Structure 1
Amino acid sequence: MFKLELPFPPSVNHYWRHVGSRVLVSSRGRKYRAEVNSLLRRKIIEPLEGDLIVDITLHPPDRRRRDVDNYMKALLDAMQSGGAYLDDSQIVRLTIEKRNPMPKAGAVEVIVQGVPQETSEFGYRTCLRCDMAFASSGPGNRICRRCTRVNERLPANYPIVRGRKLHNGKPMQ
């Protein structure tokens, strides 16, 4: 487990740049990643292995309206490239909280810890729907039996349309 205080990350709206048909990390994103890398190198943090819980507290630089989810990509990718963990797919629980602003630069407090022993035993995972620990039958099994039964009770013709809105069960044009 370790606790870090990092600079405030760029929004995902400023993290990516489109150059022709390619999508690249912007100069602001590369600069942020370099700052986090140097901070983690100075702290001599060894990469954590196994499932992780990450708690993040955002202290924005000012009182403007901000969506907390717009800052996670830059922050988690920078911590991965800095060596805090091997891959951000190790994160099984992520909590984000926005607090009062810190004038001028802003800051982010991050606590990274392993999953508690009772849920980190071989074969145990955290359900993606209800956040309860359950005995998993393999790496592809990420939903507990109770939540799976709920899914199975849905009618066979239940429309599952991703990315489009439904009106009375039918996709809108």
Structure 2
Amino acid sequence: MLRLQLPFPPSVNRYWRHVGTRVLVSKEGREYRRTVRGLMKLQKVKKHDGDLIVDIRLIPVDRRRRDVDNSLKALLDAMQAGGAYDDDSQIVRLTVEKFEPEADCPRTEVIVRRVPAKLGEPGYRFCLRCDDEFYSLGPGNRLCEECTRWRSRLTGFVPIARGRKYRNGARIA
């Protein structure tokens, strides 16, 4: 899982420029992409593969009217340039929320996750306790290793016996 705090993206209305018959990314768009790439390089972001879920929280600087969809193109392209993923076609679920403005700290908070494995299959899941991504061997494994170790250190902890105790009304030993 990847958590990022990025600057507020420029609107798509200011992201593109028409020069003759060509359409180019504007100077503001290129600067935003460069800034995001630098921030992601400082955080040593690793590239995610496979299908992804992206959650975005937009926190603007003021109360001007803004469409949430106008901020997406610049943000997703900058994250791709920064190395979060190969292509934004990997995103299968995208959630965008706009919050109350904060004049002192306008920003965009982004969470990128892999799509969890289907129930019953091994693969990546999210820990029920800390919400971090981990590799699970199956449906019975819902806590990451760190949370499992933390749970076992609790005094008086007794693991729950797994499995069925009854079959067709008769108790199984």
User: TM-score normalized by structure 2?
Assistant: 0.67
How many residues are matched? Answer: 120
> Matches of 1:104 and 1:3 in 2, distance apart?
21
Are residues 1:56 and 2:56 paired?
A: yes
Q: Which residue of 1 aligns with 2:18?
A: 18
CA apart distance, 1:105? 5.4
Q: Which residue of 1 aligns with 2:46?
A: 46
> Matches of 1:91 and 1:41 in 2, distance apart?
21
- In the alignment, structure 2 segments of 5+ residues that lack a partner are 122-173
Deviating beyond 6 angstroms after TM superposition, the runs of 4 or more aligned structure 1 residues are none
CA apart distance, 1:118? 0.8
Given that residues 18 and 24 in structure 1 are in contact (C-alpha distance below 8 angstroms), is that contact kept between their aligned partners in structure 2?
yes
CA apart distance, 1:51? 0.1
In structure 2, what residue type is equivalent to 1:58? L
Q: Which residue of 2 aligns with 1:37?
A: 37
> Identity of paired residues, percent?
63
Q: Which residue of 1 aligns with 2:139?
A: none
CA apart distance, 1:92? 0.2
Larger Rg: 2
Q: Which residue of 1 aligns with 2:109?
A: 109
In structure 1, what residue type is equivalent to 2:24? L
User: TM-score normalized by structure 1?
Assistant: 0.67
Q: How does 1:73-84 map to 2 (within 5 A)?
A: 73-84=73-84
Q: Which residue of 2 aligns with 1:158?
A: none
Q: How does 1:19-168 map to 2 (within 5 A)?
A: 19-104=19-104, 106-118=106-118
CA apart distance, 1:113? 0.2
